[in-house]
């Protein structure tokens, strides 16, 4: 029997994790000089309170080699193999540390998702479904490698203050976006975050245009088996409108809503929403 594990950044729902027996390694969230574990002793709501009310700085940190080794040691003796899906290696040193830890075991395999949030979650869910179908390790790893560049992950961000506080955009950019009511999309391309199209207007209007840009007139390039709507705290009515827009532009078999965890939330803040799906061909540029 094969065990699937992943970094907590995959942003899959508790129901999916429980149903498919997926175990998570929590990333580290640093609040000033305090250390917390993503999803264990800190939540996105805690982060927003620390940043907005207490004016504290929140950052993320990779899991170290020793903690990965302890994590894998729990599962390696119990299963024929352990496949662990990491946050992309260009976002964090987690993949490097997990790969080093895996060398201590003969049956632990580490996958670089080249993605984050439910972009990684697509691969985690695929791996768990393949393991449930009793596929062998080499076939699962091969299919994950094939799927990795086809994942289309992007988000629209309502406020740039969190990116500014995390050192990912200048104060001038954040101020300009606020004054001009600009909501940028952030795309994952070749394992790195890039600024995509910049939308202008209310958050709901921007999301409507974003979904249209991502899904309309692309029937020959989209895998309609599954799409995630992943978001930090948003108005439920806004999320519902995104679901309705997805249904207008694409006939997906599954539309899965998940909450963004502490990693996305600490970098992007509240009112961040993305649609994440798979293409039939590799993603090489922003759409």
Residues 220, 125 within the same domain: no
Gap between the Cα atoms of 219 and 36, Å rounded: 43
Tokens of 132: 């449930």
Q: What is the CATH number of the domain that holds 6?
A: 3.40.50.10170
Q: What is the CATH number of the domain that holds 197?
A: 3.30.1180.10
* Residue at which a domain ends, from 103, 133, 148: 148
Gap between the Cα atoms of 121 and 11, Å rounded: 6
Gap between the Cα atoms of 22 and 4, Å rounded: 5
Q: What does the pLDDT look like over 108-129, one tens digit per residue?
A: 999 999 999 999 999 999 999 9
pTM summary value: 0.91
Of all residues in the chain, the percent with pLDDT exceeding 70 is 92
Q: What does the pLDDT look like over 211-238, one tens digit per residue?
A: 999 999 887 899 999 999 999 988 999 9
**How buried is residue 134: exposed, middle or buried, by Cβ count under 10 Å (0-12/13-18/19+)?**
exposed
* Residue at which a domain ends, from 130, 148, 166: 148
- Per the structure, how many domains does the chain have? 2
Q: What does the pLDDT look like over 174-203, one tens digit per residue?
A: 333 443 467 888 889 999 888 888 898 889
Q: What is the mean pLDDT of residues 43-59?
A: 83
- Decide if pLDDT at 241 tops 50: yes
pLDDT the model gives residue 32: 85
Q: Which of 5-9, 39-43, 50-54 has the lowest mean pLDDT?
A: 50-54
Residues 141, 6 within the same domain: yes
- Decide if pLDDT at 170 tops 50: no
Residues 130, 173 within the same domain: no
Beta bridge partner(s), residue 112: 86
Residues 107, 188 within the same domain: no
**Cβ pair 120, 7 in contact under 8 A:** yes
Task: For residue 184, give its domain range.
Answer: 153-279
Residues 18, 88 within the same domain: yes
pLDDT the model gives residue 192: 86
* Residue at which a domain ends, from 148, 182, 215: 148
Tokens of 129: 């479904």
- Decide if pLDDT at 89 tops 50: yes
- Per the prediction, the chain carries an average pLDDT of 89
Residues 85, 205 within the same domain: no
Residues 136, 175 within the same domain: no
Residues 274, 169 within the same domain: yes
Using alpha carbons, select from 196, 279, 264, 194 the residue that is nearest to residue 233: 264
Q: Which residues of 165-204 are buried (b: 16+ CB within 10 A; e: fewer)?
A: bbeebeeebbeebeeeebbbbbbbbebebeebbebeeebe
Q: What is the mean pLDDT of residues 49-75?
A: 90
Residues 139, 175 within the same domain: no
Gap between the Cα atoms of 261 and 42, Å rounded: 10
């Amino acid at each position: 029997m094969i065990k699937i594990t992943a970094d907590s950044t995959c942003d899959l729902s508790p129901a999916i994790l429980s149903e498919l027996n997926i175990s998570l390694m929590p990333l580290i969230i640093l609040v000033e000089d305090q250390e917390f574990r993503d999803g264990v002793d800190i939540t996105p709501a805690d982060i927003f309170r620390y940043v907005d009310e207490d004016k504290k700085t929140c950052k993320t940190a990779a899991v170290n080699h020793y903690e990965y080794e302890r994590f894998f040691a729990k599962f390696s003796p119990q299963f024929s193999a352990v496949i662990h899906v990491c946050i992309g290696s260009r976002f964090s040193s987690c993949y490097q540390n997990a790969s080093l830890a895996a060398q201590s075991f003969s049956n632990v395999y580490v996958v670089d998702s080249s993605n984050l949030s439910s972009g990684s979650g697509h691969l985690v869910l695929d791996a768990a479904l393949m393991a449930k179908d009793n596929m062998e390790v080499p076939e699962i790893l091969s299919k994950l490698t094939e799927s990795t560049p086809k994942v289309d992950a992007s988000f629209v961000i309502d406020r740039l203050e969190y990116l500014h506080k995390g050192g990912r955009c200048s104060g001038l950019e954040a101020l300009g976006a606020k004054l001009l009511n600009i909501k940028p999309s952030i795309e994952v391309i070749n394992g790195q975050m890039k600024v995509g199209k910049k939308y202008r207007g209310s958050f709901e209007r921007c999301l409507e245009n974003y979904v249209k840009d991502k899904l309309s007139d692309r029937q020959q390039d989209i895998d309609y088996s599954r799409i995630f709507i992943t978001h930090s705290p948003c108005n439920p009515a806004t999320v519902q409108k995104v679901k309705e827009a997805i249904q207008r532009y694409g006939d997906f078999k599954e539309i899965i809503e998940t909450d963004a965890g502490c990693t996305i939330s600490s970098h992007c803040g509240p009112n961040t929403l993305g649609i994440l799906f798979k293409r039939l061909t590799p993603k090489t540029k922003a759409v």
